[in-house]
Structure 1
Amino acid sequence: MPWQGNSNSLSRRSAIPLTSLDISTLAPYTQLARAAYCPPSRIKNWGCGQACNAIPGFQPTIMGGDGGAVQYYFVGYWPSQNSVVVAHQGTDPFNAFAVLTDANLFLRSPSQALFPGLPSDISVHGGFLDQHEITATVIMAEVKRLLATKLSNKVILVGHSMGGALAHLDALSIRLQMPLVQLKVVTYGLPRVGNPAYAQYFDLMVPDAVRINNQRDVIPIIPGRSLGFQHTHGEIHLTTATQAVACSGTDNAVDAQCTIPTVPNIFVGNVLDHLGPYLGIPIGTIYCY
């Protein structure tokens, strides 16, 4: 299936329409990303409303964050998929501290302690690195514990907005520390995370990754490529409320159905599209019910 992150399958065409089956299989990951906006008190017993109800049987094991200085997050076990799940809250536009964190966009090298063996030419958004460093150690420890106790070898990472960037960084850190683990990454409204060297390396190390953009959302086009940033592969662009295409390459600026031609600059975008709905499912703090 083209949206599963196999860039080779997309090499002959710029954009491939997704089938209704492709679209329906994305819904559980969207609900997990939606659940990440709910406070830990509601995640603890998996009582976060519609998002939690959509994933029956999910077993959250650790959760944290305050929704501001530290984005909400949770780790748990998804029995039907025999997978460990890591989910991060994204940027809450109503929380000034989180917005300012996003503004810290200077590129810098990640820590070798969290990313052992990472090539020295790789640089990442400084604000995302700061947030990742706060939770990386505790999340990594819980992932390792769950993989061992549940006899699993699969980790699914999801997130919206900055939460997607944190999911990317968690995935790369896990890959470098546990190279045999199967990783799947699904993000929504993902901003650019790092430089071209980062994008190329991530694509090599985490091939099963998709980033879903909703219509005229402006967040996926920032930080700008002129600032030294580049997207990873796996773009899925929701062209309407019910239709989507899988776009080849990284920053696909060629096909009119992909994000960059649709939103060439922030002045023609719609920030409300950042909240979705993502094929019928909205994501954000106000949708935790």
Structure 2
Amino acid sequence: MKSIFLLIISLLLASCSQFQYNETLAQDLAGFSLASYCNPKYLQQWNCGSACKKNPNGLTDFSYLYNKTLKASGYIGYSAHHDAIIVVFRGTVPWLIQNWIADLNTIKIQYPFCENCYVHKGFYKQFNQLKSQLIQSFTEIRQKYPSSKIFVTGHSLGAAMSFHSMPIIFELNGNKPIDAFYNYGSPRVGNEAYATWFNLQNFALQYGRINNAADPVPHLPPILFPFQFYHTNHEIFYTSFIEDGNKYEQCLDAEHKLCANSKIIAASVRDHLSYFGWNWATSILTCQ
């Protein structure tokens, strides 16, 4: 019995720490994600208070992505500090009812890139409202910086939208993987077939879903019937930015019991708004 128990533990541990994770870069991209919630007039000047100060060198060649009807938003810019094109999608803004409608719309629709794949209708609809702007802005900035790196990121709803951007940006990049794709507090995006398909792609050289302690969003929509949504692989799970600093586990496989699924009860809004120990709520409110 003891040997069987040790074997189980070893198998669990074996699925951790098997992919590349650059924490410094992930923190920088979290800063860009935080800034996405700010008023665009401050963003364009890179003068959005504490959010912009997370990346004090700022961006040039800035393009704001926005849909008035659904209030979907994001931006693209060039970071000379990273020599990278940064693509960012904004998460749910608490006072925008259109964002909440998108979050709560758990109906699945067919996904065009893979067979038997279905995705969250609300998230996909939000992304599609920005798709044409993304293609135009990315094409223009890529022509100006043809050899720069490419980073994609987003928090919460923005994380879900960033998943949908990956096959588009991959194609615009000549079917070559981008350099880094990190997102924060991402909900589940699609069904098991979608998650399996995404896991088999080579969209990014570095890729990880970063989750914080009892953040409830990574547990939604549920994996259980009748919802049956599934995460993709490559999870980086921080036990608590507030209480444990930067202590984390890496889980290669999705829905792993050592990462976010180790939390039986995940209902902390604070954890959703404290990635890397920052007070996201205060930063967002003071940059409008």
Match of 1:270 in 2: 268
Match of 2:3 in 1: none
Q: Aligned letter for 2:212?
A: N
Secondary structure of 1:105's aligned partner:
coil
Match of 1:201 in 2: 197
Q: Aligned letter for 2:195?
A: A
Post-superposition offset of 1:260: 0.9
Taking the aligned partners of 1:153 and 1:197, their CA distance within structure 2 comes to: 33
Secondary structure of 1:223's aligned partner:
coil
TM-score (norm 2): 0.83
Task: After TM superposition, list the pairs within 5 Å mapping 1:200-279 onto structure 2.
Answer: 200-205=196-201, 206-207=203-204, 208-226=206-224, 227-241=227-241, 242=245, 243-252=247-256, 254-255=257-258, 258-262=259-263, 264-265=264-265, 268-276=266-274, 278-279=275-276
Secondary structure of 2:236's aligned partner:
strand
Taking the aligned partners of 2:22 and 2:135, their CA distance within structure 1 comes to: 30
Post-superposition offset of 1:17: 12
Match of 2:128 in 1: 133
Query: 1:34·1:287 contact (CA, 8 Å) conserved in 2?
Result: no
Task: Mark the runs of 5 or more structure 1 residues left unpaired by the alignment.
Answer: 1-9, 113-117
Match of 1:149 in 2: 144
Taking the aligned partners of 1:183 and 1:82, their CA distance within structure 2 comes to: 11
Taking the aligned partners of 2:217 and 2:253, their CA distance within structure 1 comes to: 19
Q: How many residues align?
A: 265
Post-superposition offset of 1:105: 1.2
Secondary structure of 1:273's aligned partner:
helix
Higher relative contact order (CA 8 A, sep 6+): 1
Is residue 191 from structure 1 mapped to residue 190 from structure 2 by the alignment? no
Match of 2:279 in 1: 282
Taking the aligned partners of 2:51 and 2:23, their CA distance within structure 1 comes to: 17
1:123 to 118, 126, 133: 118
When residues 103 and 57 of structure 1 are mapped into structure 2, their CA distance, relative to the original with a 3 A threshold, is closer
Match of 1:72 in 2: 73
Q: Percent identity?
A: 25
Q: Aligned letter for 2:183?
A: T
Is residue 58 from structure 1 mapped to residue 62 from structure 2 by the alignment? no
Taking the aligned partners of 1:81 and 1:133, their CA distance within structure 2 comes to: 28
Match of 2:31 in 1: 31
Q: Aligned letter for 2:165?
A: D
Is residue 168 from structure 1 mapped to residue 163 from structure 2 by the alignment? yes
Match of 1:101 in 2: 102
Q: Aligned letter for 1:282?
A: N
Judge which range, 78-87 or 177-186, deviates more: 177-186
TM-score (norm 1): 0.83
When residues 185 and 25 of structure 1 are mapped into structure 2, their CA distance, relative to the original with a 3 A threshold, is closer
Query: 2:188·2:221 contact (CA, 8 Å) conserved in 1?
Result: yes
Match of 2:4 in 1: none
Taking the aligned partners of 1:287 and 1:167, their CA distance within structure 2 comes to: 25
Taking the aligned partners of 1:96 and 1:192, their CA distance within structure 2 comes to: 21
Query: 2:63·2:77 contact (CA, 8 Å) conserved in 1?
Result: yes
Taking the aligned partners of 1:43 and 1:67, their CA distance within structure 2 comes to: 18
Query: 2:61·2:141 contact (CA, 8 Å) conserved in 1?
Result: no
Judge which range, 21-30 or 151-160, deviates more: 21-30
Query: 2:152·2:182 contact (CA, 8 Å) conserved in 1?
Result: yes
Q: C-alpha deviations, 1:103-140, integer Å up to 9, x for none?
A: 11111123x5xxxxx22222110001110111011111
Q: For the aligned residues, what is the CA RMSD? A: 2.6
Taking the aligned partners of 1:221 and 1:287, their CA distance within structure 2 comes to: 29
Post-superposition offset of 1:261: 1.8
Q: Aligned letter for 1:245?
A: E
Post-superposition offset of 1:66: 6.9
